[in-house]
Amino acid sequence: MNVLLGMAVLAAVVLGVALALRAFPALERAVLGDDAPGRFQTMDGLRGLLALAVFVHHSIIEQAYCAGSPWAAPAGHFENFLGRGAVALFFMVSAYLFWGRLHRAGGRLSWVPFFVERFRRIVPLYAVTTASLLFIVGVESGWTLRVPAVDLLQEASRWFLFGFLGFPDINGIPDTVTRLSVLWSLRFEWLFYFSLPVLGMIHARLRRPWVIYTIFVAIGLSGGGKVMFLYFAAGCLCVPILAGPAVGGRFQALWAWAGVACLIAFIWRFHGIEGRVQPWLLIPVFVAALLGRGPWSVLRWPPLRYLGHISYSVYLIHNPLLHVFINAGIGRANYGDLNQLPLYGVIALMGCAVMGVATVTYLLVERPCLASARGVDPSAVSATS
């Protein structure tokens, strides 16, 4: 993918959202109207951009898959960063938010309300999305059993467990995971959440934040998929950075351009995120994004903040929607044969459709569940992380 054209696709979808909000201001009021005065607007904008980037990443993979290639990471650094780099930054967002909360509380939080809130934030939409995957499998298998009923029940059950027991093919449909390939990251999110009570006890006793950072770094350096914990470590380190004098006054412009430079260096030098250098390159990117100075100020733009609110919906539902759009609308062979420019146009159009459906799932599934967790009116709540 051409980098400039890829960025144009991102811009086209965001502009489509901006036009929709201008045409239907009630949508903006419904999603953004209840923002608290102290809400981290740049973080909302960042999350919106990251979720959109993951959608574009999977659209590119899907095209190669339709053309006969295996479901695998794109060859280009930029295309792969749109997905894997975005997920890494999502991990940093979670670490920054929840370690920051734990750190400010001296390591002591009310864990039952915390996990109830996390459950209501993550599980309802996850269940709806996984159920939609089962429906797609049912349609594609003609509603006939291709495996024993007990096996089908076992396969489906494993999908509802956030991948802790893997993501098997369902009812004999090959490569089922391609219909919903983002779920692997939620396993790491849950592992991070479950680690927090232990880390809280350590922090409350020792009052040495560097011990927590060291624990995450040690886990990340121990090999395998645990390298993702380096991104949690990086997000945790951003808490003292953003609370300290290093981001004040004249230093903010320095962070802004350091963030741009590190982002360019990451995309130019690295294809994946599985390494010991990449997490630290993303720290200036993350700090610059949250400070929102210079070119990063665009993250305060209401359409990007809007996407930030619905980002979890975008993240979960875009793969099933891509599958439906391509198989039931465009046609797999046609999508696989698209040249570069037509492909970008089709991705932009599908992106706008995904944002529309994500708005519906946010308003009907996410926000009411969040409101229920907090005991308030659903019309007066906005999503957290």
At 155-193, the pLDDT tens digits run 999 998 887 878 899 999 998 988 888 888 999 999 999
Question: Quick one: which of 100, 67, 60 has its CA closest to 84?
Answer: 60
Which pLDDT band holds residue 213 (cuts at 50, 70, 90)?
very high
Inside any domain, residue 20: no
pLDDT value for 181: 80
Q: Say whether pLDDT at 95 is over 90.
A: yes
Q: pLDDT by residue (tens digit) across 309-322?
A: 999 999 999 999 99
Q: How many domains does the chain have?
A: 1
Inside any domain, residue 181: yes
| Model pTM score | 0.93
Question: Quick one: which of 300, 348, 251, 378 has its CA closest to 52?
Answer: 348
Q: Which helix (H) or strand (E) holds 36?
A: none
Question: Quick one: which of 343, 284, 261, 344 has its CA closest to 11?
Answer: 344
Inside any domain, residue 25: no
Give me the count of residues in the chain: 385
Domain that holds residue 281: 3-14+39-376
Q: Say whether pLDDT at 106 is over 60.
A: yes
Q: Provide mean pLDDT across the span 359-371.
A: 91
Q: Say whether pLDDT at 212 is over 50.
A: yes
pLDDT value for 378: 39
Inside any domain, residue 385: no
Structure tokens at 155: 């396969």
Inside any domain, residue 22: no
Inside any domain, residue 263: yes
- Mean pLDDT (the chain) is 91
Helix, strand, coil percent values for the chain (each to nearest 5):
75, 0, 25
Inside any domain, residue 333: yes
Write the single-letter amino acid at 113: P
The rounded distance, in Å, linking the Cα atoms of 383 and 308 is: 9
Q: Say whether pLDDT at 46 is over 80.
A: yes
pLDDT value for 163: 77
